[in-house]
Amino acid sequence: QARVVESGGGLVQAGESLNLSCTNFGEVFSMESRGWYRQAPGKQRESVAVIGVGRDIRYADAVKGRFTVSKDPGKETLFLEMKNLQVEDTAVYYCNFQALERRSLSEGGTFYTIDNWGEGTEVTVSS
């Protein structure tokens, strides 16, 4: 069962807007990086908009100025506001909550990450 669930995908025309959201129903960690990724047909998964552990936000050049990522304060919900969608934005959009954890001293005390992926929501933009 998916612990992270995305929603909001659909079919829109170029130039229109669409809002996505995802919620983490699973375990919440003290330090997490949250972000949106997408995978278009025939292409590798790429990052779209990510909020780092330090709350810094990084956008892919292709979406900068058009997409906005945000988090609902106090809730494990992430949003992606997409404006002026283009055909090239067509892809399955995934949400990820990446936890940063530290091993016990007996295990070396090193840091590691745990990825919690949603199953994706499809966005199709037609011309």
Query: What pLDDT sits at residue 1?
Result: 54
- How far apart are the C-alpha atoms of 24 and 101, rounded to whole Å? 17
Query: What pLDDT sits at residue 74?
Result: 83
Query: What pLDDT sits at residue 2?
Result: 62
How many residues does this entry show for the chain? 127
Closest by CA position to 118, among listed 1, 30, 18:
1
Rg (C-alpha) for the chain, rounded Å, is: 15
pLDDT by residue for the chain (127 residues), tens digit each?
568 999 999 999 999 999 999 999 988 888 889 999 999 999 999 999 999 988 899 999 999 999 999 998 888 999 999 999 999 999 999 999 999 899 999 999 999 999 999 999 999 999 9
